[in-house]
A and B are shown apart, each in its own frame.
Chain A
Amino acid sequence: MKDRFESTKKYIASRELLDGVNVAIALQKPLLIKGEPGTGKTMLAKAVAQSLGKRLIVWNIKSTTKAQDGLYLYDTIQRLYDGQFGEEGVDDIARYIRLGKLGEAFDSEEQVVLLIDEIDKADLEFPNDLLWELDQMEFYIHETKRTVKAKHRPIVIITSNAEKELPDAFLRRCIFHYIDFPDEGLMEEIVRAHFPNVEEKLLKEAMAAFYEIRSYRDVRKKPSTSELIDWIRALQIGGIAPETIRGNLPFLGVILKKDEDLETVRHKV
């Protein structure tokens, strides 16, 4: 087990990102990650957990998620039913308290990595509702009069797609990192991490075609790292001759997801 985060076999991070993670760990603050879709925001948490040899707890945020869901739920209906049929231990409320993901992370016997994924999906007030919990790393369960306090401050990684603006008070408590789109050098490294035996010519041609498509201004949804990786996989499985890639652009649907974009690119080639 290490105490510093480093690039893993499958996850290649830039120097700045590595620093960002390590600073967040040192200062015990949540790390807020933004960046284009597909630049590996969610993957980062997995890599951090793997690199540090810690357990990863993922809290996926949806538009209906409430802050309370992450702390605990009191399963009243189950208790009601149990009360009806005279189950044992109904008078013990603690039996019906279910810890949420944040609660689970606090209650863990060892330090964990907590990923709060796509925080911007939730309601506007959601981040504000978590300020105290993330600051103090504790919350209070009214029903059992118990305070859940983090035994070891979890390493908190938060991702956002910038669908909504996050409140200032919340931002002030975070360390912020914006994942730049990888340049060709870093991209090559990333692709090689996924396909150690990739054919040189195929890699070169696919990368060239990929960056050319990205450079078209009228492409609405620009393909990203994950799409390139899928594409190279498709090209390999399809046994496509590398020299035909740029001319024919096979499996274009893997990198472009909008009809208009497919048409635009086909038209240009």
Chain B
Amino acid sequence: MFAKFFDACRAKGLPVALSEWLTLQEALDQGLAKNSLTRFYYLARMILVKSETQFDKFDQAFEECFKGAAFEDEISAQMLEWLDKSEMEELAREDARRYLNEGEELQIDRREVEEKFRQRMRDQDSEHNGGSFWIGTMGKTSFGNLGGNVGGVRVGGKTGYQSAFAVVGARKYRDFRDDRVLDNRQFQMAFRRLRQFSAKLDVPKTDLDIGGTVHKTCENGGFLQIVMEKPRKNAVKLLLLFDSGGTMIPYSALMNDLFQAVHKSNHFKDVKCYYFHNCIYSKLYKTPECENGDWVDTEWVFRNLDSDYKVIVVGDAAMAPEELYSDTGNYRGPNGGLSGWEWLNLLKRHYKKIVWLNPKMAPKRMPWREAETAIGDLLPMFKLTVEGLNQAMEVLMRR
């Protein structure tokens, strides 16, 4: 059964490693699950799962393997038969609402409830429905099926209210799910290549300048004189331009990951980020929604972000050739009388280092993708994969 659980975890996409599995075995050997399924659930989760984004997958795997396993070995088949009253469910739901919080005092202490449950299981010898003491359906004791008591023990069947053994079924962690093709970490690792050290920064002198110290000490007639210098800091400034056009929507998750990676890489001196629609014209938008008015002049960007900024353009370069070359511009925003092609040339003239990252770049030249080919000839273009990103970073750092 446990091997099956391991397989189920991996089948649901949980990257459970053998070492973690062995740790779980060790924990079970030490009796840390205390023969309780709920405890086992938490124990397995804390050892096998390392991110709240994976909890939901784990819940599903767990449910698949242990559905109905709760107390199964302790409950006789006869008793389960008495409790199997699915046709009464609708009726019970109404009734249960009335009974909720009434009747027998609230049972919050699990141990006590379980204790009582076992006691009563020993004593019970017939079917009970609707009562308030024996284990049965639609009742208001702490045990049984379809009941309305909060904090009780459910015996088989579906959960009426979340309080009875409902951790797994509730799928509480569904919202945390985060299916990512590319690992954010891989992106961050690629961005680490963007380092250029400069000592001209306003920071205290905290590093020992060995050459300076030797020199000063010699001048000082052999008496030690320490010289400190400013630590080397990354001087790379980054300008990101994201295409937020309709054809980019399928890649929004990838864009988001890239964006996150840049923001989590806190080693840059400065990061500026703007959006555009299909191609760059006279305005750059401040938000991905590209709303009219919420923009800055592209020329303002040229003026204020000097040519040392390294520019990364992210877009699919998918547009009709006439859209790229027409001087009436695109339908969304003003173009300042210049075509997209001319704006791209201005961009290239202004900034020393520019790369274009394309999430759906063709593997080789495709004559029908005229705009992509043209832009690829103008600016170095790379496919937006970890490898492509690494190559692009190399181009950005080349002197």
A174 at the interface (CB under 8 A from B): yes
Q: Which chain B residues lie closer than 8 Å to A177 at the CB level?
A: 46
Min C-beta distance of B339 to chain A, whole Å: 38
Checking B23, B45, B208 against A29 with a beta-carbon cut-off of 8 angstroms, the contacting residue is B23
Q: Which chain B residues lie closer than 8 Å to A26 at the CB level?
A: 27, 30, 32
A34 at the interface (CB under 8 A from B): yes
**Inter-chain contact B55/A19, CB cutoff 8 Å:** no
Interface size on B, residues (CB 8 A): 32
A116 at the interface (CB under 8 A from B): no
Q: Which chain A residues lie closer than 8 Å to B39 at the CB level?
A: 19
Closest to A171 in B: B50
A132 at the interface (CB under 8 A from B): no
Q: Which chain A residues lie closer than 8 Å to B126 at the CB level?
A: none
Min C-beta distance of A78 to chain B, whole Å: 11
A124 to B192 Cα, complex, angstroms: 10
8 Å CB interface, B187-235 against A: 188-189, 192, 208, 223-224, 226
**Inter-chain contact A124/B188, CB cutoff 8 Å:** yes
A25 to B45 Cα, complex, angstroms: 16
**Inter-chain contact B46/A164, CB cutoff 8 Å:** no
Q: Which of B42, B45, B46 has most chain A Cβ within 10 Å?
A: B46
B51 at the interface (CB under 8 A from A): yes
Checking A19, A84, A164, A167 against B43 with a beta-carbon cut-off of 8 angstroms, the contacting residue is A19
A172 at the interface (CB under 8 A from B): yes
**Inter-chain contact A165/B46, CB cutoff 8 Å:** no
**Inter-chain contact B266/A34, CB cutoff 8 Å:** no
8 Å CB interface, A113-172 against B: 124, 163-168, 171-172
Checking A20, A63, A81 against B42 with a beta-carbon cut-off of 8 angstroms, the contacting residue is A20
8 Å CB interface, A35-94 against B: 63, 77, 80-81, 83-84
A165 to B180 Cα, complex, angstroms: 13
B47 at the interface (CB under 8 A from A): yes
8 Å CB interface, B21-62 against A: 23, 26-27, 30, 32, 39, 42-43, 45-47, 49-52, 55
**Inter-chain contact B189/A172, CB cutoff 8 Å:** no
Closest to A178 in B: B52
Min C-beta distance of A182 to chain B, whole Å: 14
Checking B45, B184, B223 against A165 with a beta-carbon cut-off of 8 angstroms, the contacting residue is B184
**Inter-chain contact A164/B27, CB cutoff 8 Å:** no
B264 at the interface (CB under 8 A from A): yes
Interface size on A, residues (CB 8 A): 31
Checking B15, B17, B19, B46 against A175 with a beta-carbon cut-off of 8 angstroms, the contacting residue is B46
Closest to A168 in B: B15
Q: Which chain B residues lie closer than 8 Å to A81 at the CB level?
A: 224
A32 at the interface (CB under 8 A from B): yes
Q: Which chain B residues lie closer than 8 Å to A171 at the CB level?
A: 50-51
Q: Which of A19, A29, A166, A173 has most chain B Cβ within 10 Å?
A: A19
B289 at the interface (CB under 8 A from A): no
**Inter-chain contact A27/B26, CB cutoff 8 Å:** yes
**Inter-chain contact A164/B188, CB cutoff 8 Å:** yes
B269 at the interface (CB under 8 A from A): no
Closest to A20 in B: B46
B185 at the interface (CB under 8 A from A): yes
Closest to B176 in A: A178
A39 to B23 Cα, complex, angstroms: 28
Checking A23, A32, A63, A165 against B183 with a beta-carbon cut-off of 8 angstroms, the contacting residue is A165
User: Do A84 and B224 contact each other (CB < 8 Å), given the known contacts A19-B42, A175-B46?
Assistant: yes
8 Å CB interface, B1-32 against A: 15, 17, 19-20, 23, 26-27, 30, 32
Min C-beta distance of A204 to chain B, whole Å: 18
Q: Which of B43, B55, B183, B192 has most chain A Cβ within 10 Å?
A: B43
Closest to B192 in A: A124
Closest to B24 in A: A27
Q: Which chain B residues lie closer than 8 Å to A165 at the CB level?
A: 183-185, 188
**Inter-chain contact B43/A172, CB cutoff 8 Å:** no
Closest 9 CB pairs of A and B: A171-B50, A178-B52, A165-B185, A176-B50, A84-B224, A175-B46, A16-B42, A20-B46, A172-B17
B interface with A by C-beta (< 8 Å)? 15, 17, 19-20, 23, 26-27, 30, 32, 39, 42-43, 45-47, 49-52, 55, 183-185, 188-189, 192, 208, 223-224, 226, 264, 266
Q: A80-B226, A172-B50 are in contact. List 9 more A-B contacts (CB 8 A).
A: A23-B27, A29-B23, A124-B192, A164-B185, A165-B183, A166-B50, A168-B15, A176-B47, A176-B51
Please, could you name 13 A-B residue pairs with CB atoms under 8 Å apart, sorted by A?
Answer: A20-B46, A22-B32, A29-B23, A63-B266, A83-B224, A124-B189, A163-B264, A164-B188, A165-B185, A172-B19, A172-B50, A174-B50, A175-B46
